[in-house]
Structure 1
Amino acid sequence: MDMKSLPAETRKRISLRGTGMYAAIAERLREMILEGELPPGTHIDEKALCEQFDISRTPLREALKTLVTEGHVTHRQHMGFQVAPINRDEIAAIFEVLHGLEETAGRLAATRIDDKQMKALLERHRTMEAYHREGKRTAYYRANQKVHQHIVDVAGNPVLSDLYSSLMSKIHRARGAANADVLRWAESLGEHSEILEALAKRDGACLARLLREHSEHTAAEVMKVLDATSGK
């Protein structure tokens, strides 16, 4: 039977099956954690995951040990594995820096973006809109990240681009945990439309303001979710 003819979930189970495939299992679990499917602090139900992936416990344990070394998962004797908590204060501090980077990127991008870059950015935005219409939240979130990095990159400052990318990677898991809010999802898409409109007009002041406000709104939502899950 041709693998391509099988349903996506079936193909995923088959690809993860076998004790030699712990790396693939670790990759799938890493994705589930980073995208918020397994929220911070969640107890990892090994039996349920074995059934979901159609695998034995041995490769799952090997995959979980890998994630422990990466800091995504914690393990305590007699308590099992748990998704590692997120450092709230560190995330808040990173967002404070990101607000300024977004604002700076907006001022620079408005004056440095060319027509070809603008066309490519609009295509990314349309892809993001399509994911929103189709309810593909994870795909939308990834496209969202690419749009933001694209805007920063066209600002034409490699130091800014590298710093932004590095800091975004540090808050990826926290943003994924807050990605389930439907109202914020729709609101975010609307903000993106305004951002692209300002960029198309090469209005640096407006673009800088909109990017900073968008970053602040995202931060507020992320911190709200983190506070709720930590009991604050």
Structure 2
Amino acid sequence: MLQSTDLSSAIRPSSLHEEVASRLRALIFERQLAPGQRVDEQALAAEWGISRTPIREALKVLAVEGLVTLQPRRGCVVTEVSEDDAEQLFPVMALLEGRCAYEAAQRATDDELAELRRLHRDLELYARSHDTEGYYRANHVFHTRVQTVAGNPWLSRATDQLRVFMRLLRGRQLRHPGRIDASIAEHRVLIDALSARDAPRAQQLMYEHLMEQLAALKALRASEAQAAADDAKRRAM
């Protein structure tokens, strides 16, 4: 007779590095480990009450995923998405997410469309209060759900791999003045196209939505660079 599994039991040593990897991903995606920051293995080992071995094994997994990068004499650092990276990443992600929207519009059930409309209403609430953090989280859920509704495992595989790097940016473009208002307007026409099962229009709107994110990110970075330059001039006077 099979014995029931005790879900409250301690984690098996063989799976410890998997839990550590999961915790590290969460720290990176929540920016508690910021882009460019060194991962302090010793401090984490002390905090979590484990040896450094599972942390090192977990970092190998994250290095393969691209979340951390091994740098000489610094150890593992959280990967940064540069301006050049963003210029190359967003157009590819726009193509993938556009296809997700296309296939979701074709395949979605009535219940799935109702769920997408509910998720869109969450976005509306966060947009109304200009809650950048809440909007970012809700937006991630919405886009991921569109991908799931598309029901294409090969498309999901490719999209998941790149979404990791999108999450490293953590919706920075939403800080650009007026971006949340523009983003929710883009979502409104997108959800209308999905609800109408207009696959070509949904694809085009999703593509444009991602490219507008890139434009906003570039504008934000330019304004930040200008502000830094102006500050440096004031200090030099």
TM over 0.5: yes
Q: 1:118 deviation in Å? A: 1.6
Equivalent residue number for residue 44 of structure 1: 39
Match of 2:20 among 11, 21, 25: 25
- Contact 1:68/1:74, CA 8 A, preserved across alignment: no
Partner of 2:92: 97
Distance 1:114 1:30, change over 3 A: closer
CA contact (8 A) 1:25 1:63 kept: yes
SS of aligned partner of 1:136: helix
CA distance in 2, matches of 1:211, 1:195: 7
Residues 122-163 of structure 1: per-residue CA shift (max 9 Å, x gap): 23333455666674366424413323314534xxxx3xx522
**Aligned twin of 2:58:** 66
Q: Is the 8 A contact 1:40 1:84 kept in 2?
A: yes
Displacement of 1:68:
3.3
**Percent of aligned pairs sharing the same letter:** 23
Report the residue type matching 2:210 in the other structure: S
Q: CA deviation at 1:29?
A: 1.3
Cα distance in structure 1, aligned partners of 2:75 and 2:98: 43
Structure 2: where are the runs of 5+ without partners?
1-9, 226-237
Distance 1:226 1:41 in 2: 17
**In structure 2, distance between residues paired with 1:79 and 1:105:** 39
CA deviations 1:25-84 (Å, max 9, x no partner) are 332112222454433322235576568xx435x535631442134313344564343213
Cα distance in 2 for partners of 1:101, 1:55 equals 38
C-alpha spacing 1:129/1:101, structure 2 compared with 1 (3 Å): same
What RMSD over aligned residues (CA atoms) do the two structures have, in Å? 4.2
The 1:117/1:70 distance shift into structure 2, 3 A limit, reads: closer
Q: For residues 132-211 of structure 1, what are the structure 2 equivalents within 5 Å? A: 135-136=133-134, 139-150=137-148, 152-153=150-151, 158=152, 162-180=154-172, 181-183=174-176, 184-211=179-206
Larger Rg: 2
Pairing 1:124–2:119 present:
yes
Q: TM-score, normalised by structure 2?
A: 0.61
CA shift for structure 1 position 214:
0.4
Partner AA of 1:136 in structure 2: G
